[in-house]
Amino acid sequence: MQEGFAIRQAEIEIFGHRGASGHFPENTLIAFQETRIAGANGIELDVQMSKDRQLIVMHDETIDRTTNGSGYIKDMTYEILKALDAGSWFHSSFSNEKIITLDEVLEWATGEGNHLTINIELKNDQIFYDGLEEAVLNLVQQYHLEDRVIISSFNPKSLQKVRSLHKTIDIGYLIEGKPPDTVEIAKQIGANAIHCQEVFALSEKGQTARAEGLLLRVYTVNDTNAIERLKHAEVSVIMTDYPAEFVKSSAKKKDNRKTQGV
Ligand code: G3P
Ligand code: MG
């Protein structure tokens, strides 16, 4: 690596993974609001589909871990889901937090002064939600957020469908570890980015992806010491459960560089 390489890179962006989920209940409005307050660049959230085809912001296919209810989202109506407590599992002080829909998040995201990037992860790798891609794209277009949204998924077929429905929307192919043929698959399905873990970004495969023009966005990084090495690997985005800490740490590093005249 050339000396001084990192300082010529654009600043690395910080996204709150499931919002500021280290300090607030994941995938809730407060977790997203706090990511914005922290001064981060974006949020990452997960989308499932209810029985009545509402787009539900939740990581798991079931509501058991993060609410006071039990069962599969696909078997429940939004009417039932919205009555649940989605915060107490994290801490009793969050008992007012509700399950939210993607519609509610996008409405909030279009509020005055809100410029966050919204990374919508389609959770269709465990359960096949028929029409999930169309429903998400329709909503994004309804809010005119095509230029501020990233669609990602572990399911390449789903992303290929998104690309066939929208020629320019930002698509991130999600991988775990260092699977073979990642770059080839990403290019084949029309993705412009790979959403990966550090192990991929820092490897030769990660550098091949960069050389092929693919962006690297890395999840889930919770140690601020990783910022410098990820910058050197030309990573564009760090997704973290602790956006406030990462924003602070990035700003401090920038100040240090200024003081040293670089
Ligand atoms: O989108 C990045 C990351 O969220 C993927 O893993 O399981 O946290 O949704 P997971
Ligand atoms: Mg996710």
From 170, 179, 175, 180, select the one nearest 196 (Cα to Cα): 175
* 245 three-class SS: helix
Looking at all shown ligands, the one closest to residue 174's CA atom is 1
Supply the pLDDT for residue 253: 74
pLDDT by residue for the chain (262 residues), tens only, comes to: 333 333 345 789 999 999 999 999 999 999 999 999 999 999 999 999 999 999 999 999 999 999 999 999 999 999 999 999 999 999 999 999 999 999 999 999 999 999 999 999 999 999 999 999 999 999 999 999 999 999 999 999 999 999 999 999 999 999 999 999 999 999 999 999 999 999 999 999 999 999 999 999 999 999 999 999 999 999 999 999 999 999 999 988 777 767 666 5
Q: Of 17, 91, 144, 195, which is the active-site residue?
A: 17
Candidates 59, 115, 144, 166; catalytic one: 59
Any catalytic annotation for residue 17?
Answer: yes
Single out the residue of 168, 112, 116 nearest to residue 141, CA to CA. 168
Residues with CB under 5 A from ligand 2 (ion): 46, 121
Length of the chain counted residue by residue: 262
Q: Which ligand is nearest to the CA of 221?
A: 1
- Residue whose CA lies nearest to ligand 1 atom number 1: 121
| Closest-lying ligand 1 atom to the alpha carbon of residue 154 | 5
Structure tokens at 95: 């008992």
CA of 123 to the centre of ligand 1 (A): 9
Residue 169's alpha-carbon distances to 5, 191, 212, 256, in angstroms, are 30, 9, 19, 36
**Per-residue tokens: 26:** 């994941």
71 C-alpha to ligand 1 centroid (Å): 21
Give the closest residue (by CA) to ligand 1 atom 3: 219
3-class DSSP state of 79: helix
**CATH superfamily name and code, 16-259:** Phosphatidylinositol (PI) phosphodiesterase (3.20.20.190)
User: Looking up tokens 């290019």, which residue turns up?
Assistant: 187
pTM over 0.85: yes
State the DSSP H helix or E strand holding residue 119, giving kind and residue range, or none if neither: strand 117-122
Residues at CB less than 6 angstroms from ligand 1: 17, 44, 46, 59, 121, 152, 174, 195, 219, 239
CA 105 to chain CA mean position, Å: 13
Read off the tokens for 33. Answer: 């609001």
Q: Residue 156: name the closest of 118, 117, 135, 183 by CA.
A: 183
Active site annotation includes 91:
no
